[in-house]
Chains A and B, each alone.
Chain A
Amino acid sequence: MTYDWVHNTLQEGTLSTEVQLLLTACEPHGVSRREFQEALQDAAWEFPSQTRTKSKQLHRVFDPYRESAASDRLKCSASELLGLYGLLRYLVAEKVPRVPDLLPKLASFAAACDTLDVLLAAKKGATSIADAARSLPGVMQRHMAAHIEAYGDGGIRPKHHWNLDVGDQLARDGVVLDAFVIERTHLKIKAVADSVENTSRFERSVLAGVLNNTWRESATGSWSHALLGSPKQVAPNTCLSARMRVYGLTLSVNDVVWVGEKCGSVRLCVLADAILYVLVEMYTAVGEHTRHWGQWAPSATHELWVAANVQTSLAWKVVADGVVVVIRC
């Protein structure tokens, strides 16, 4: 039996509760949902090519029609909240006043975000599964304690309790298992099932269509290493392109990416001797920095990074004098 952290945390889960309670608590202090929505609508925000279309719509989470006075959870999908939480953490730090009444609530929100940070770092390979498994129970416990301190135990739900098991699951399994991929599989099935109105042999019709599509796509598809678009051969074993796919991650020119603590903007995707690289214009740190975001300025230097080691940023925007605010996670 494996509890799914995505359902526990993001799908009407612990983080959905946390965000909703914080937004409600912020309103008497003059920070409304509308203000968060406008900040997210800022056209200056840039997003990685892989998530750009969806990320540009994240502000819709704060649409008035999604608001419900009765609900104690933010109404949004798991993938929306996954894209949103890092941005929200930045906006909360920017906009919410540090008044005594809000401090425990901000601490609880930060602790909830920390739980997601650990899980995502393990999933992306930025930290080892063993390290994540060791730290998760403590992080989850801290969040629960912080939540109770800020709001009492009224908002504690079984999902908070189930989350306490996720650390042990990681230690047992050695991988981060979650339902994101299962939900994506549903999209493939939905594409076929939507047109099957006759339910007399629904199972057969849907499975036949899905099987046909899966084999067709898998026979020609590429989920591992490949340059995308129209690669240009510049030497016998070297091709260049504006886009690439590496371990399911699509990288494009202008994406802001990371390797370790180094940050930069992709200028070119390179395939050389069967290895994918990105040519990156390096950024140098300027101004304010936290674990999750910082201010950077483009430098004149470039580096070639192995694409498999690269992590994308969540979002970034150019502020005054070419300085770029980069939200890492």
Chain B
Amino acid sequence: MDRKRRRTTAADILRRVAGAGGVSAAGLSDIIAELQAAGSEVQELASSRRVISRAILDTFDEFRLVLQMPLIEGGFFDWELLEPGRLMAETVHRCPLVRQAFTAAVAASPPSVRNPWHLVVGFDEFAPGNKLKVDNRRKAMVLSFTFRELGQAAMSDGSLWFTPVVVRSVNMNLVAGGWSAMLAAFLRRFLLGTAGLCSAGVPLELTGGGVCMMFASLSNLLTDGDAWKYTFDWRGHSSFKPCFKHPNVLRKGSDLAWRKPGYCEIVCSDPLQFRSWSKGDVHAAVDTLSAAADRVTAGTLTQVRYDQLEMAYGLG
């Protein structure tokens, strides 16, 4: 009789908690296993939502990084993100499969200052909530990173991408320089900071107890056309220069390409016609626009002329 009552009670509890808060049966099974493993400590666990949220936020706070970004209107935005190097090191430490992947890749190609790994940074915007009723207040830029050395198959798995940045677009738009400035600040910190991938390196614990120092340099920025626009202050695909890489490729129907040798429109399919922008070209273009903006402020150049200059360079 007692046995029957105990069984009924356990089943009742299961029925009550199954699906609570959207927890799946597999998730519930994991929770029960964790609680059973914890044994008597279960009694000491508080169960209020506040305490649970606090426990989750405490983990974030341990790895929190705050970058102060100057705002357009003056003052600063305290940008909260995860310290990328520590996030990577802790994930490798905590997750055996991630550690295994890093261990294999380090064995194949040990990172060093002279032979750094290749950092791949991907970012894109997304909007949480109802797709058909987009809430622009919560639209956010998400940035993740991984390394090319982890290999094609492993790189297609989300477990090997680390996500230290989620930032609302409305905040991005308030910052002087927008996403472009924020990405620059993030990369400066991650690559050139005191424990940066290009400076002191990031220590990673490998399978078998070994430790390696991770050194890497930025090799790929991966995103879509809209995000390129924010990133480089480029005027975008519908601008006079619809390709950021090839400044001599003009928009379709520009009626200009035929006027000057060395220019073509996007309908041209011959890559030999395309000329890439050198680093010096980009710097010169930005310097020219910057000087022109100063002249507009000083009243020695009209806004119309400045806009034309922006259009000609394809930069904003």
Residues of A within 8 A of B (CB): 1-2, 4, 7, 11, 123, 125, 129, 137, 140-141, 144-145, 148, 153, 156-162, 164-165, 168, 173-186, 188-190, 193-194, 196, 199, 201-212, 214-215, 217-224, 247-248
Stretch at the interface among B3-11, B40-48, B134-142, B209-217: B134-142
Residues of B within 8 A of A (CB): 30, 56-57, 59-60, 63-64, 79-82, 87, 91, 94-98, 100-101, 118, 120, 122-124, 126, 128-129, 137-138, 140, 142, 144, 148, 151-159, 161, 163-168, 171, 219-225, 228, 237-238, 242-246, 249, 251-252, 266-271, 274
| CB neighbours of A210 from chain B (8 A) | 163, 166
A204 close to B60 (CB less than 8 A):
yes
A156-B252, A203-B81 known; 20 new pairs, CB 8 Å cut-off, are: A1-B228, A156-B266, A159-B237, A179-B222, A181-B161, A182-B122, A182-B142, A185-B161, A185-B163, A186-B124, A189-B163, A190-B126, A193-B140, A201-B80, A202-B168, A206-B166, A210-B163, A218-B91, A220-B30, A248-B157
> CA–CA, A219 to B34, complex, Å?
13
Count A-B contacts at CB 8 Å. 199
B57 to chain A, nearest CB (A): 5
Which label, helix, strand, loop or mixed, suits the secondary structure of the A interface?
A: helix
> CA–CA, A185 to B222, complex, Å?
14
B79 close to A221 (CB less than 8 A):
no
> CA–CA, A123 to B157, complex, Å?
13
Interface centre among B155, B156, B171, B220 (most CB of A within 10 A): B156
- Given the interface contacts A164-B269, A177-B220, does A219 sit within 8 Å of B95 by beta carbon? yes
| CB neighbours of B156 from chain A (8 A) | 123, 180-181, 248
B266 close to A207 (CB less than 8 A):
no
| CB neighbours of B157 from chain A (8 A) | 181, 223, 248
Chain B residue with Cβ nearest A247: B153
- Given the interface contacts A181-B157, A208-B59, does A148 sit within 8 Å of B124 by beta carbon? no
Which 10 A-B residue pairs are closest in the complex by CB-CB distance? A208-B60, A218-B95, A193-B128, A144-B269, A158-B242, A158-B237, A7-B224, A182-B122, A161-B266, A247-B153
> CA–CA, A199 to B222, complex, Å?
27
A199 close to B137 (CB less than 8 A):
yes
> CA–CA, A224 to B157, complex, Å?
9
Chain A residue with Cβ nearest B58: A208
- 21 sampled A-B residue pairs with Cβ under 8 A: A2-B221, A125-B153, A153-B252, A156-B252, A175-B155, A177-B155, A182-B142, A182-B222, A189-B163, A199-B168, A202-B166, A203-B171, A206-B140, A207-B163, A209-B56, A218-B91, A218-B97, A221-B159, A223-B97, A224-B97, A248-B156
